[in-house]
């Protein structure tokens, strides 16, 4: 070894440092790859496909990388010791050890791993071309190392073969969408999050409550029925007999207008055009209800509870608005009236989810569905005008009541400057 020129030894040491940096950086790059993005890139990139195969058995990949990295680092240590001894004897060995520790940390660990973490794909895909044949060559040694290492790993209750790509949870998917940044337009992010939220939202959460369901009582005076048909803003109207629980079905208003225009519409014609009502349980999640509407070729459903009693009505438009927002051209729902002082007058029958969506606030939705129910629950008594409660730091002031329920209230959406705390009555 004494006959080898120092210049050659320094050159070999430089090459070994490059190899050490390669092993350290490529390990970080491969492990930092986004597995879901990698699955997509594998369709068009051979480097990505090789990376997928390597990561399918991470124990083998890590064994190969560590085998190479440790072998290189051992050679670096031995070579640096030799160079130090040849230059300055025992003092050179000590100096070489200190310098080597610093240089390995900076040039073979921190720097390559930092670059690899920031540019994982640019480093991991070319590295996959190197590791794929290298794994075949070094397979016997890697197999033996993994056999011993996996035996120890199993003692900690970890199965090395369980390296499959785990599915993201509902909240994790939402986080991925929200962190997409400029890659996905904001309105598209909102729609994607809304679609994910549909799995935890039922028709009861968005239905038109029973008290607000409008329809035609077939027993009413015929002149009143004709006037109701002419004045309605809906294309379909509920038909019932005597009371809402006696539902007969729905009629398409457009099919009645020609007869009404020619003054040939009679009660019998109205009854003949009725299509039987479609009922759905109150606990049906929105994604399932959307599928039900599609399979049943329906746009409106009557919501019933476990006893079969009518709770309200849900439409296809109601579900679509949960995804894309209200179709109304106005800035606010007609039941929300903004004031100059920043407050908002709210109809007591409004759904809390609708208020949250339109005003971008966070009233609790895990209890009562309407703002009237929320106030009544927090008060623990029948609300009266003038009472103000604080819910999630949003003051709610009752202004009008009717039949022991809140008819109108004032909401202060801009007061909330702090994270939600305990509700106060």
DSSP string of 208-225, one letter each residue: EEGGG--EEETTS-HHHH
Superfamily of domain 198-324: CBS-domain (3.10.580.10)
Q: Among the listed ranges 12-21, 213-222, 259-268, 396-405, which one has the minimum average pLDDT value?
A: 259-268
Fold match between 198-324 and 336-411?
A: no
CB 270 within 8 A of CB 217: no
Angle, helix 58-103 to helix 120-137, in steps of 10 degrees:
110
Task: Residue 285: count other Cβ atoms within 10 Å of its Cβ.
Answer: 15
Beta strands 208-209 and 310-315, pairing class? antiparallel
pTM of the full structure: 0.56
More confident residue, 170 or 308: 308
Q: Which of 333, 319, 312, 318 is nearest to 411 (CA)?
A: 333
Average pLDDT, the chain: 84
Average pLDDT over residues 87-98: 84
pLDDT at 420: 42
pLDDT at 418: 47
Q: Tell me the CATH architecture of domain 336-411.
A: 2-Layer Sandwich (3.30)
What are the sequence ranges of the domains in the chain? 6-156, 198-324, 336-411
Q: Among the listed ranges 7-16, 63-72, 93-102, 271-280, which one has the minimum average pLDDT value?
A: 93-102
pLDDT at 267: 86
Task: Residue 324: count other Cβ atoms within 10 Å of its Cβ.
Answer: 12
More confident residue, 333 or 175: 175
- Count of residues in the chain: 425
pLDDT at 26: 92
- The confidence band for 366, taking pLDDT boundaries of 50, 70 and 90, is confident
Average pLDDT over residues 334-346: 83
Beta strands 344-347 and 336-338, pairing class? antiparallel
pLDDT at 417: 47
More confident residue, 333 or 199: 199
């Amino acid at each position: 070894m004494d006959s080898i020129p120092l210049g050659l030894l320094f050159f070999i040491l430089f090459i070994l440092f490059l190899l050490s940096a390669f092993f350290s950086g490529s390990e970080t790059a491969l492990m930092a790859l986004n597995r879901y993005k990698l699955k997509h890139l594998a369709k068009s990139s051979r480097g990505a496909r090789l990376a997928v195969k390597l990561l399918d058995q991470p124990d083998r990949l890590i064994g190969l990388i560590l085998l190479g990295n440790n072998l290189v680092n051992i050679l670096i240590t031995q070579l640096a010791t030799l160079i130090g001894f040849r230059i300055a004897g025992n003092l050179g060995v000590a100096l070489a050890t200190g310098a080597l520790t610093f240089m390995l940390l900076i040039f073979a660990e921190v720097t390559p791993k930092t670059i690899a973490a920031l540019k994982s794909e640019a480093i991991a895909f070319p590295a996959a071309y190197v590791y794929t044949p290298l794994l075949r060559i070094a397979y016997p040694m890697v197999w033996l190392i993994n056999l011993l290492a996996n035996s120890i790993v199993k003692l900690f209750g970890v199965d090395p073969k369980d390296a499959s790509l785990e599915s993201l949870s509902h909240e994790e998917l939402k986080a991925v969408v929200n962190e997409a940044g400029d890659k996905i337009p904001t309105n598209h992010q909102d729609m994607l999050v809304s679609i994910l939220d549909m799995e935890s939202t039922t028709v009861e959460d968005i239905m038109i409550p029973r008290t607000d369901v409008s329809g035609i009582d077939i027993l009413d005076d015929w002149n009143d029925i004709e006037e109701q048909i002419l004045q309605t803003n809906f294309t379909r109207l509920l038909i019932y007999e005597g009371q809402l629980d006696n539902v007969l079905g729905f009629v398409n208003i457009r099919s009645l207008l020609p007869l009404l225009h020619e003054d040939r519409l009679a009660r019998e014609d109205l009854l003949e055009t009725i299509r039987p009502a479609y009922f759905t349980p109150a606990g049906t999640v929105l994604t399932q209800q959307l599928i039900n509407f599609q399979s049943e070729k329906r746009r409106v459903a009557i919501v019933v509870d476990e006893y079969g009693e009518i709770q309200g009505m849900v439409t296809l438009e109601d579900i679509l608005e949960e995804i894309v927002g209200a179709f109304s051209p106005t800035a606010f729902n007609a039941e929300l009236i903004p004031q100059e002082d920043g407050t908002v007058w709210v109809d007591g029958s409004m759904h809390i989810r609708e208020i949250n969506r339109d005003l971008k606030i966070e009233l609790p939705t895990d209890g009562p569905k309407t703002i009237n129910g929320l106030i009544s629950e927090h008060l623990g008594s029948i609300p009266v005008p003038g009472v103000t409660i604080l819910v999630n730091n949003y003051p709610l002031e009752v202004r009008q009541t009717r039949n022991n329920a809140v008819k109108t209230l004032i909401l202060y959406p801009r007061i909330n400057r702090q994270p939600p705390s305990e509700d106060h009555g």
